[in-house]
Structure 1
Amino acid sequence: MKKNIFVIGLNAFNLEKLKRLRGAEDMEFHGVIEPAAVYDTEEFDIPAMLSEAEAQLSAFDGSIDAIVGYMDFPVSTMLPILCGKFGVRTTSLESLLKCEHKFWSRTVQQEVIPEHIPAFTAFDPFDDKALSRIGEAGLSFPFFVKPIKSSGSRLGFRIDNPEDFDHAIERLRAEIGSIQEPFNFVLDQADLPKEIRQVHGGYCMAEQVIGGRQCTVEGYVHDGEVVPYGIVDSIRYPQVLSFFYYMYPSRLPANVQDKMGELTKRIMSHVGFDNSAFNIEFFWDEVQDRIWLLEVNTRISQSHCDLFEKVDGISHQQVTVDLGLGQRPDMPSREGDYKVGAEFFYRVFFTDATVSRVPPPEEIEAAAAKVPGTFIRSQVHEGMRLSELPEQDSYSYAIAYIWMGASKQSTLLWNYERVLKNIHFEFTDIEE
């Protein structure tokens, strides 16, 4: 009998990768909740989505062997609720929230790795005295602000002066409600300490500015054993906060990678996270030789799937599926066709604009064919405003993703420029 794997928000791109996993011939993959409901919107009706998923799963005539996902909020937070109701494996909702609730996460990190986290405080964006309260907590300019729960750098701002703070507060007050309501629903399902329950989904975090060479440690916990298995470098555009590309494997020094692995094991064991995949974003401040923990995510990075497939031979969705089935992950290493893999973010740095031209499929296919192994996915369509794109940072818009493999980093960059010259987007009504 084939194992039935239910995937929240399953789309065609990821289904093809899942079908190439080890043991996939003995698995049947089923989508739960339409991809558009979790990809193409920033409005999440979690109770309705849970009801839809429960109805589909209850009506299924067969075994439910695993319920998994590879996306951030709201998918990650729905999984413990669904898995608990249908008796399949994942981590507890409380251990997941110790990672995803940014204030709770910093609080538990402070208990075991205080020298590797920045100064932080929570604040209410609707409090007119918020800036002075942040100062009373010991933070001074510059600092970052972000919602207690966000994804994709959404509503995150660097604050260098009071004017920056006023701008951030205006945006946060206008938009944080779309995060607050669904996240509060999830918080209501969990057993929370009183001091954490008071910091609800409408709150924000202020944190000391940290920086350096950024990377992501991908890992999992199986029956209490924390296993980091790969590090991906996150490289930004010069002088801005937006990501340019992710590259695997990391080029950080081996001793730095080893130290990040130790910190990963310490924090994930401390929060009680188990039988699930995760990733942790770190900075290495090369000048001070200091490692900072940026944040913990309670799922694999979907952006890294193709990178692992190119370098290691299969997507690290292998980890998610194996854990969902209660098995130790069977993840290969360096069995792929390339020495390095990357995902590039083709961005425009407008305040807003209307998309007047998107390269047609034949143009995209011809551009990708310039470099074997390249895959291009446009994120926009003609006539849309860039501000309609979900999950964007506060400084740019990613209009296309480009995945590539090569023998070394310099070749990746050279090939990216070759491909980019052959795809053409156009815009009107540009707001600089």
Structure 2
Amino acid sequence: MDEMGDNVFVLGADPHNRAVLDELAERRGYRIHGLLEMEELRDAHDRLPELLDDARRILDGFEGSVDAVIGFWDFPVRTLVPILCAERGLHSPSLESVVKCEHKYWSRREQREVTDAVPPFAEVPLEAEAPPPEVGYPMWLKPVKSFSSALAFRVTDDEEFREALGRIREGIDDLGSPFDWLLRRIDLPEAVARAGGSACLAEEEVHGEQVTVEGYVWRGDPVVYGVVSSATYPDSPSFLRYTYPSGLPGTVAERLADISERVVRRMGLDATTFNIEYFWNPGDDTLRLLEINPRHSQSHARLMAEVDGVPNHDHMVRLALGREPLLETGAGRHATAAKWFLRRFTDGVVRTAPGPEDIARMERDVPGTGAKVSAPPGTRLSRMPSQDSYSYELAQVFTAGRSDEDLRRAYELCLARLPFEIDEPDEDAAAGGEGG
């Protein structure tokens, strides 16, 4: 346990990820410390300088050594971590490499330099009346900076384009303005500087099976260690489940690894985990890169713990401490695992939701399962933060087993033990509280 005594600070540690880290800390011998609450960071995008000062005061006031600073979430967490680490000489990717990934237009320009697996795309000014000529319908319209698919819209004609752009204009400043503050700290290419943090990106729609490559960069060398498959609800872009391992043909996995390594090097990432989302079309065997994230997916942590024996959080901590990750593929208790998303596609107010007793009973009745309720009683679904543009997440359900059939059977058994009652929204219900 070479990490014995090291102090690891987590920027915006939420209860779920903190619990995973605490369990890892017992096994590895380091200590976990919180650094600002997630609520402070989520609701203070316009206070980035103050947040940095608050974090600095905590780190400066700590009596022991500060050996690593990490964070799981996107903006602003993932961009504040490199700033804090650079100031203290800690291991972290550079701010420029992280922003290069997170600015969707800049990221696409860089990806295009090293792979042809990039769909047609173009910057869209907020005042545009029609889409750019190089991108055809159907297309996706999204801000150059967003998270969890918020303000991302599929559009099929000019009327939908103008409607979607109008909705984006209404909400883009929540992230666009603070993102501009970060962009001013970096020497930007002219086209990216012109777009700034409050422009949009249009991308031609691509089709196929969505997969996510998980990897890390150690001393400049990217390493791909896993591929996760994603499935959506029928006739919807909202996720139904993630499955690990993906079960892709070996040749496809090799191509994914090759593209991923080239893109990661182009971005200049180092000392970090990463995940890259793709579409693979089995019909014509084409790959299309969706986006690159300069962090691992904490959504995959339990899946990898079930299959590989440790959550991917372990890789992040070791890199932040300046140590190479330890990989033991297939060392877990199960051959496959899945994370399911129970969703509702219309607004409502949650009247009843599964409680701790319901979840504990489910875990006893259906071994290898777990659940996390996202919408407790009193929640007005349309007011939940970080939802996609098409659905509301009620709960996450975890299953593990020997085969895909095991995963599906367990999920069906879990649903019967996780009852929700949701009322149609009205004025009285809307005043009843936001929850979540």
TM bucket (normalised to shorter chain) is over 0.9
The SS at the match of 1:198 is: helix
Alignment gaps of 5+ in structure 1? none
Q: Deviations over 1:35-90 (max 9, x none)?
A: 22346x58563223222111111111111111111222221111111111121011
State yes or no: 1:346 paired with 2:342.
yes
- How many angstroms apart in 2 are the aligned matches of 1:271 and 1:284? 22
Distance 1:259 1:23, change over 3 A: farther
State yes or no: 1:31 paired with 2:27.
no
- AA in 1 matched with 2:285: D
Query: Following superposition of structure 1 onto structure 2, how do residues 11-90 of structure 1 map, counting pairs within 5 Å?
Result: 11-21=14-24, 24-38=27-41, 41=43, 45-90=47-92
- Using the aligned pairs only, state the percent identity: 38
Alignment match, 2:367: 372
- How many angstroms apart in 2 are the aligned matches of 1:223 and 1:112? 20
Query: Following superposition of structure 1 onto structure 2, how do residues 421-432 of structure 1 map, counting pairs within 5 Å?
Result: 421-430=416-425
The answer as to whether partners of 1:316 and 1:331 remain within 8 angstroms in 2 is: no
The SS at the match of 1:45 is: helix
Q: 2:382 aligns with which of 378, 387, 393?
A: 387
The answer as to whether partners of 2:105 and 2:123 remain within 8 angstroms in 1 is: yes
Q: 2:292 aligns with which of 289, 296, 316?
A: 296
Alignment match, 1:323: 319
Alignment match, 1:163: 159
State the Cα distance separating 1:393 from its structure 2 match. 0.8
The answer as to whether partners of 2:177 and 2:197 remain within 8 angstroms in 1 is: yes
Q: Deviations over 1:284-304 (max 9, x none)?
A: 111111111110001010100
- How many angstroms apart in 2 are the aligned matches of 1:43 and 1:360? 32
Alignment match, 2:190: 194
Q: Deviations over 1:131-181 (max 9, x none)?
A: 1xx233x22211110110111111111111223223312211111111112
Alignment match, 2:117: 116
Q: Deviations over 1:316-369 (max 9, x none)?
A: 11110010011111132111111111111000010x211111222212221232
Alignment match, 2:433: none
Alignment match, 2:431: none
- How many angstroms apart in 1 are the aligned matches of 2:140 and 2:337? 30
State yes or no: 1:357 paired with 2:352.
yes
Q: 2:410 aligns with which of 412, 415, 424?
A: 415
- How many angstroms apart in 1 are the aligned matches of 2:44 and 2:378? 20
- AA in 2 matched with 1:104: W
- Root-mean-square deviation over aligned CA pairs: 1.6
The SS at the match of 1:417 is: helix
- AA in 2 matched with 1:118: P
Alignment match, 2:7: 4
Moved over 6 A (4+): none
Alignment gaps of 5+ in structure 2? 427-436
The answer as to whether partners of 1:284 and 1:291 remain within 8 angstroms in 2 is: yes
The answer as to whether partners of 1:18 and 1:24 remain within 8 angstroms in 2 is: no
- How many angstroms apart in 1 are the aligned matches of 2:44 and 2:409? 35
State the Cα distance separating 1:252 from its structure 2 match. 1.1
How many residues are aligned here? 423
State yes or no: 1:172 paired with 2:175.
no
Structure of greater relative contact order (alpha carbons < 8 Å, 6+ residues apart) = 1
- How many angstroms apart in 1 are the aligned matches of 2:142 and 2:260? 23
Alignment match, 2:224: 228
The answer as to whether partners of 2:98 and 2:269 remain within 8 angstroms in 1 is: yes
The answer as to whether partners of 2:141 and 2:165 remain within 8 angstroms in 1 is: no
- How many angstroms apart in 1 are the aligned matches of 2:139 and 2:199? 16
Q: Deviations over 1:106-138 (max 9, x none)?
A: 10111111x21011011122x1x341xx233x2
The answer as to whether partners of 2:369 and 2:410 remain within 8 angstroms in 1 is: no
- How many angstroms apart in 2 are the aligned matches of 1:408 and 1:152? 29
State the Cα distance separating 1:25 from its structure 2 match. 4.1
The answer as to whether partners of 1:95 and 1:272 remain within 8 angstroms in 2 is: yes
- How many angstroms apart in 2 are the aligned matches of 1:22 and 1:177? 38
TM-score by length of 2: 0.93
- AA in 2 matched with 1:135: P
TM-score by length of 1: 0.94
